[in-house]
Amino acid sequence: MIRYALACEHDHEFEGWFGSSDAFDEQAAQGLVECPLCASRAVRKQIMTPAVAGAKKRDAHPDQPTRAMMMEAMGRVRRHVEDTFDNVGERFAEEARAIHQGRAEDRGIYGQATSSEVRELVEEGVEVAALPPAPPKKSDVN
């Protein structure tokens, strides 16, 4: 994962996490990155100092409590969605469109969609949001 300092056209500053160095460019080009304050999709990377490990212990990093709090909050959001929404799998785009058009029961759903499917849904006025990533499995962590 790569963390970028970002800013929108209105100079609102925020951070974003991306799976690779190309992921931001791809997602921004598809209109999938937006400012959490004003929803502008004109978002750019800011200059950031690299995170370099030094003599200080990692737990002493001033952002650690904030980072832990955000990770916990994202985990709670994901658990709530998984516990209370219907998992429609790869039929997400089709089902979201049907709900939006009144052809299916209005309910919370989650599943998978391609970036082009998400872009089409947004263009049609269907409200969608990315689900926070699942935490790593204990067996996958050193």
Render pLDDT for 40-73 as a digit per residue (tens, 0 to 9): 899 998 877 666 665 555 555 557 788 788 888 8
Q: Is residue 122 part of a domain?
A: yes
pLDDT at 57: 52
In whole angstroms, how far apart are CA 67 and each of 18, 74, 106? 15, 11, 35
Same domain (yes/no): 82, 41? no
In a domain, 62, yes or no: no
Both tokens of 85, joined, read 């929404």
Q: What is residue 81's predicted lDDT score, i.e. its pLDDT?
A: 92
The span from the CA of 106 to the CA of 108, in Å, is 7
In angstroms, the Cα distances linking 73 to 5, 39, 46, 67, 76 are 20, 21, 25, 10, 5
**Partners of 45 in the beta sheet?**
6
Tell me what the mean pLDDT of segment 74-87 comes to. Answer: 91
Asked if residue 124 and residue 80 are part of one domain, the reply reads: yes
pTM above 0.75, yes or no: no
From 118, 64, 68, select the one nearest 96 (Cα to Cα): 118
- Torsion, Cα 59 60 63 68, to 10 degrees, reads 30
Half-sphere exposure of 133 (CA within 13 A, CB side): 9
When mean pLDDT is compared across 1-5, 29-33, 107-111, 114-118, the lowest value belongs to 1-5
Q: What digits encode the pLDDT tens for the residues 87-103?
A: 999 999 999 999 999 99
Domain region containing 115: 76-128
25-40 tens-digit pLDDT: 888 889 889 888 888 8
* Number of other residues whose CB lies within 10 A of the CB of residue 98: 15
Q: Cα–Cα–Cα angle for 3, 112, 141, nearest 5°?
A: 50
Residue 62: predicted pLDDT: 52
Q: How many domains does the chain have?
A: 2
What are the phi and psi torsion angles at 115 (to 5°)? -60, -35
- Check whether residue 82 and residue 124 sit in a common domain: yes
